[in-house]
Structure 1
Amino acid sequence: MRAAVTPILAPDPDAMRRQLEHVFHGDLDGAHDGLVELAWNDPRTGALSAAELFGTDHIDELVDRAVALNRTPGVNVYVGAALRRPQAARNRRASDADFLAASCIWADVDTDVVAPAIAACKRRGAPPTMTVVTGRHPHLRAQMWWRLDAPCRDTAQLRRICAAVAAAIGGDPSVLNPGRVLRLGGSVAWPTKDGRVLERTEVHVPRDGRPAEYLLERIARAFAPEPAPLLSKSPETSEASSPVSAASRADGGLAIGSLSVEAAVAAVRRGDHWHDHVVRLVAHWVARGWSDAEILATAEGLTLPGWTHDETRRDLARMIAGARRKWSIPNPVHEVGEDAGPPPIEVGWVQRLDAAMIPRRRWLLGRSLLRGHLTVEVAPPGAGKSTLAIAQAVAIATGREITGQAVHETAKTWVWNNEDDGDELRRRLAAVLQHWSIQIEEIRGRVALNSGADRALMVARAAKDGSAMRTPDVDALVERIRAEAIGLLVVDPFAEVHAVEENDNARIREVAALFREVARRGDCAVLLIHHTSKPATASSDAFAGNQNAARGASSLTGVARIVQTLFAMSPRDAEKLGVVEHERRLWVRLDDAKANLSLIQGEASWFKRVGVVIANGDEVGVLVPGDPGPPQSAVSDEETEAAVIAEIDRAWRVKEPYGTHPLCGERFYGRSLPRRLGRPTSVVSAAVERLMARGAIEDAVFDSRNSKKGLRPVPLDERKRPSGSESSEGDA
């Protein structure tokens, strides 16, 4: 009788492939030539010293190799968390120096806290896009992965964010270096530690409506603001245990994790976990931008009985150093000066004026966007204001005159849309690039898109007295604009970035002045996208070029130096331009409503909506500058006059002549004749006026019973000779 044999688990190549495709397929933004590291251990010594590197287009070969290796008892297989440089050696382990790009953020939860870690991710609004269960005995263990919309190439930033995630969810704080390898999902985990059993790892890619990928900034914001829950740690490991960054300052610093500053200080003074609470306070103060001196000044209030102030200061100094070292936040220098009040008022007498030495205005685009100044664009919903704003940003970033306006200076641009999600913004950008054949290389690092769905921009809130209270976002905007040398900031829409009464002129003036401050301090143009007042569907005949079309308080357009309106083509516009009804809805007009720094343009700029099918199959609209009327040179005046006479003759003979007064309704020649001939109203009306002046057509009675009149051609022999002429030319 044969003895019973426990079958050995087999690797799961499908699960391996599912993990590798999630991490290394799709849009890698130019990093497709990177290499994927497959590493394995020596079953005799356990040393993880062997590796082979594969191209991103050779995933199947990697899986076959991993399966073959993993079938050998004791051989565990691992995959590099990030792509390696194409120049890295393909037959040995890679190092941190071989890092090329990371398409994911990762965390390894090897202790029995997987369930709380998952809950923490959901609570922060950033559940992982993939989870690899690396074992279930003696407790659940897992890797968590967050796919990024674009790879991260900054190793310092990658380390900071991976560390922040690990600290927030209880992950292994050492699993964050760019050369890290992690157990490959679907492989057999041969046990090497006490208490472990033979298991096959699992790969789970949820399809429950969570994002398929994240912006790197969103991961940073989701995990950086709150420090990790207090754990029982030694002083060495608890120092600066919570990640901090510029993003963590946006909440005003009123709370530290689940504790308020006041509660943390109270706990310190009670002696309740003194070290842990002081570490959290120091991390919070460092994040808030406090200097070392300011933090050390709190030593007296944090000293417990039996200890000296000097001892507290030494502890604080160690914590400060640890926080600054770990999160790369330098010690700021703050200057304290006397508040002498405003300077005295002086009369600025003009002694000389050298006009040639006055700096020129720094226009970016046409006569609408100017460095140091605020522009407001007013439009009803659906007019295409957000689409046009992205096109304007691309025009300035690339120097391409895709909006029909001259690009005077190329610059980096930043679009912050508080209304639409990131995917929608990227769809619109993709459509603009595709329609105008603009390569991603032309805008990489030059066009930025932020969505309020990920992190809302809020520059002012209402104080108890109703006044506009500025938020830290104002200074943060200026700081980022200066640091990145951004030339244009687009804020869309204005109503979503403040929380004050929009019909209060005084309050809206305060909010608008904040954006004017951003423009001046940031030396950039600021474009505010704003809605029209109700009814939003009002005809452009009354609102085009009218700054009073803006919704809410009029003080917004008072602060702005430039105001423009964007409206759909009205029926009257279509009639004048000879545009048929189904084409009319495709056209929008951009008009100057206020131009304090240039001449106001009397003519509208026209754009046509064009559908673009982008690579994912979605149809997205773009606005293309154009002229909705037929070319003026296509038909001569003589040809137009001949067509007018022929049509007037036809209508007279069938006893349905054209009337000469608007009260004639549909018989009025200015309304119906252009439509009949398919030509612009202005062209046809001018032809009628010339023919009547020459006596070629006249207003005559065609119904003697009620004295109704209408236009008729005048035969040559009945025409009056113009005074002072020996002869008159005939008309066709």
Structure 2
Amino acid sequence: MNLPKPIPFTPQAGASPLIYDFQAWQEIDPAQIPRLRFVYGDTFAAGYLSVTFAAPKTGKSLLALSEAIDAATGRGFLTGKPAAPIKVLYYNAEDDLAVIQGRVAAVLQAWQIPQSEIIGRLFPVSGVTAESPVVLIRGEKGDIAESAFLALADLIKREGIALAIFDPLQDLSHSPETNEVFRALGGRIRALASETGAAIGLVHHTRKPSPGIAPTLDDGRGGSALRGVARFNRLLVPMTEAEGAQAGVDDFRHYFRIGEAESNLAPPSSDRNRWFEKTGVMIANGENVATIRPWVWPEAFTGITVNDACRVRAEIAACENPPRENSQAKGWAGEVIAEVLGLDLSKASDKARVKTMLKKWIESDVLRIERLTYGDKNKQADFVFAGENNPAVPE
């Protein structure tokens, strides 16, 4: 085996040698190892950086502010898990204070939360109207603004802030959006989280996606360097028109989901996705203000009872001419299902539901397929009959 020859190295003249004092393993008590402590949900952990990536107009600012209020009140109206209230800093660099205040009022009104629950706990700040906007990095070479980090560290410690959310990152930087800049900035923000013990969340834009290509976590503006320094990353994905038709919603543009966390992809109907609906709330000043609320992807069998399954099975059994399994064929079995259940096959969402129900009932033998010969030319096709599994009969 031929080993590569070592490359000679000549130390720089006058350089002081480094001494690394790396310690070997010593016996420890595993019970004393510090545990990861989440301050809100499963995204924001004490002492760590989390990044939310999203395209413009997806709903990232509405989500970030709602999460800030949810954490400050401890209500758990987004997570479904009430917790102890914490102090939260929400810094929005794009909107003025009146806009932020209106959105806070909309969230409180939507969830019937009195203002008393956020007094002294929520710090909503506008980078537009603030006397000293937060800028964390400057210049072509990406010089860290240490004075800003020292001021943030002092604020977080002094006020006991457990979660700080900055929205969006692009307005906190006066440097080019390069890998090098975001690697340096992300590393310094991560150090701020570690130093203060606060959970820090960043909202960051994705690049404009190519037509027909779904965005991923690697599409954050400035490359993947920022993703690499964060402990938790997630991507907000807007609903597509096809998904809207499948879900049966009136306007697909009102919905988005947390569709990717650390590159774990799942179809839109998966339980792993957390969906949200953008809606409007009329607040006391007469303005209709946008906010969000959790939304659940409609399941095929939602609202379908055992009695409904029995009715479908009986109607299939009573057909003089057995219906076809193929949805493209004349006399499709789905037409029987839709008629029994009062569904409209002209609606894409209802037709998708019927297809799913037919498939599942065939798999469970509530209904059964038999291949038969039909017509003058002796063609063969799959026809649907009642199966042996009668849902009305207890096991």
How high is the TM-score relative to the length of structure 1?
A: 0.43
Specify the code of the residue in structure 2 equivalent to 1:547: L
Q: Deviations over 1:509-529 (max 9, x none)?
A: 001112112211221111101
Q: Is the CA contact 1:612–1:621 (under 8 Å) kept in the aligned structure 2? A: yes
CA distance in 2, matches of 1:696, 1:387: 48
1:404-483 → structure 2 map (5 Å cutoff): 404-455=79-130, 456-463=133-140, 466-483=141-158
- The CA deviation at 1:459 is 0.2
- The answer for the alignment partner of 1:56 in structure 2 is none
Q: Deviations over 1:540-579 (max 9, x none)?
A: xx34xx4223222111111111011222223454466xx2
- The CA deviation at 1:729 is 5.7
Structure 2: where are the runs of 5+ without partners? Answer: 1-15, 265-269, 335-344
Q: Is the CA contact 2:248–2:348 (under 8 Å) kept in the aligned structure 1? A: no
Query: 2:62 pairs with 379, 387, 391, which one?
Result: 387
1:634 aligns to what SS in structure 2?
coil
Specify the code of the residue in structure 1 equivalent to 2:185: V
- The answer for the alignment partner of 1:500 in structure 2 is 175
1:77-92 → structure 2 map (5 Å cutoff): none
CA distance in 1, matches of 2:306, 2:136: 57
Is 1:712 the counterpart of 2:389 in the alignment?
A: no
- The answer for the alignment partner of 1:289 in structure 2 is none
Specify the code of the residue in structure 2 equivalent to 1:458: V
Is 1:368 the counterpart of 2:64 in the alignment?
A: no
Query: 2:229 pairs with 559, 575, 580, which one?
Result: 559
- The CA deviation at 1:343 is 8.3
CA distance in 2, matches of 1:641, 1:584: 34
- The answer for the alignment partner of 1:550 in structure 2 is 220
2:162 aligns to what SS in structure 1?
strand
CA distance in 2, matches of 1:567, 1:589: 5
2:180 aligns to what SS in structure 1?
helix
1:679 aligns to what SS in structure 2?
helix
Is 1:634 the counterpart of 2:311 in the alignment?
A: no
Specify the code of the residue in structure 1 equivalent to 2:135: M
Query: 1:675 pairs with 333, 341, 349, which one?
Result: 349
1:649 aligns to what SS in structure 2?
coil
CA distance in 2, matches of 1:397, 1:581: 32
- The CA deviation at 1:650 is 8.0
Query: 2:248 pairs with 580, 593, 601, which one?
Result: 580
Q: Is the CA contact 2:50–2:230 (under 8 Å) kept in the aligned structure 1? A: yes
- The CA deviation at 1:620 is 1.3
Query: 1:569 pairs with 235, 239, 245, which one?
Result: 239
Cα distance change of structure 1 residues 713 and 400 upon mapping to structure 2, 3 Å threshold: same
CA distance in 1, matches of 2:73, 2:17: 42
Query: 1:616 pairs with 285, 297, 302, which one?
Result: 285
Q: Is the CA contact 1:674–1:681 (under 8 Å) kept in the aligned structure 2? A: no
Is 1:512 the counterpart of 2:186 in the alignment?
A: yes
CA distance in 2, matches of 1:368, 1:445: 23
- The CA deviation at 1:679 is 3.0
Cα distance change of structure 1 residues 390 and 559 upon mapping to structure 2, 3 Å threshold: same
Structure 1: where are the runs of 5+ without partners? Answer: 1-340, 661-670, 720-727
CA distance in 2, matches of 1:653, 1:496: 52
Percent identity for Structure 1 against Structure 2? 27
Q: Is the CA contact 2:325–2:384 (under 8 Å) kept in the aligned structure 1? A: no
Specify the code of the residue in structure 2 equivalent to 1:609: K
CA distance in 2, matches of 1:417, 1:531: 14
Q: Deviations over 1:5-60 (max 9, x none)?
A: xxxxxxxxxxxxxxxxxxxxxxxxxxxxxxxxxxxxxxxxxxxxxxxxxxxxxxxx
- The CA deviation at 1:538 is 6.7
Is 1:535 the counterpart of 2:209 in the alignment?
A: yes
Q: Deviations over 1:250-284 (max 9, x none)?
A: xxxxxxxxxxxxxxxxxxxxxxxxxxxxxxxxxxx
1:4-153 → structure 2 map (5 Å cutoff): none
The alignment's C-alpha RMSD in Å is 3.9
1:330-349 → structure 2 map (5 Å cutoff): 344-349=19-24
Cα distance change of structure 1 residues 563 and 713 upon mapping to structure 2, 3 Å threshold: same
Is 1:696 the counterpart of 2:368 in the alignment?
A: yes
Cα distance change of structure 1 residues 571 and 659 upon mapping to structure 2, 3 Å threshold: farther
- The answer for the alignment partner of 2:276 in structure 1 is 607
Q: Deviations over 1:427-453 (max 9, x none)?
A: 110000111111111111211111121
- The answer for the alignment partner of 1:298 in structure 2 is none
- The CA deviation at 1:684 is 4.7
How high is the TM-score relative to the length of structure 2?
A: 0.76
Is 1:590 the counterpart of 2:265 in the alignment?
A: no
- The answer for the alignment partner of 2:337 in structure 1 is none
Cα distance change of structure 1 residues 685 and 528 upon mapping to structure 2, 3 Å threshold: farther
Q: Deviations over 1:141-193 (max 9, x none)?
A: xxxxxxxxxxxxxxxxxxxxxxxxxxxxxxxxxxxxxxxxxxxxxxxxxxxxx
- The CA deviation at 1:536 is 8.5
1:145-544 → structure 2 map (5 Å cutoff): 344-455=19-130, 456-463=133-140, 466-502=141-177, 504-535=178-209, 542-543=214-215
CA distance in 1, matches of 2:356, 2:364: 12
CA distance in 1, matches of 2:185, 2:367: 62
CA distance in 2, matches of 1:617, 1:710: 62
- The answer for the alignment partner of 1:98 in structure 2 is none
Cα distance change of structure 1 residues 604 and 705 upon mapping to structure 2, 3 Å threshold: same
Cα distance change of structure 1 residues 651 and 410 upon mapping to structure 2, 3 Å threshold: same
Q: Deviations over 1:346-394 (max 9, x none)?
A: 2332222322112222211111111110011111222211111111111
- The answer for the alignment partner of 2:338 in structure 1 is none
Specify the code of the residue in structure 2 equivalent to 1:527: G
Q: Is the CA contact 1:697–1:711 (under 8 Å) kept in the aligned structure 2? A: yes
CA distance in 1, matches of 2:51, 2:286: 33
1:383 aligns to what SS in structure 2?
coil
Q: Is the CA contact 1:533–1:551 (under 8 Å) kept in the aligned structure 2? A: yes
CA distance in 2, matches of 1:653, 1:552: 47
Q: Is the CA contact 1:380–1:536 (under 8 Å) kept in the aligned structure 2? A: no
> How many pairs are equivalent?
355
- The CA deviation at 1:411 is 1.5
CA distance in 2, matches of 1:653, 1:594: 38
CA distance in 2, matches of 1:549, 1:523: 29
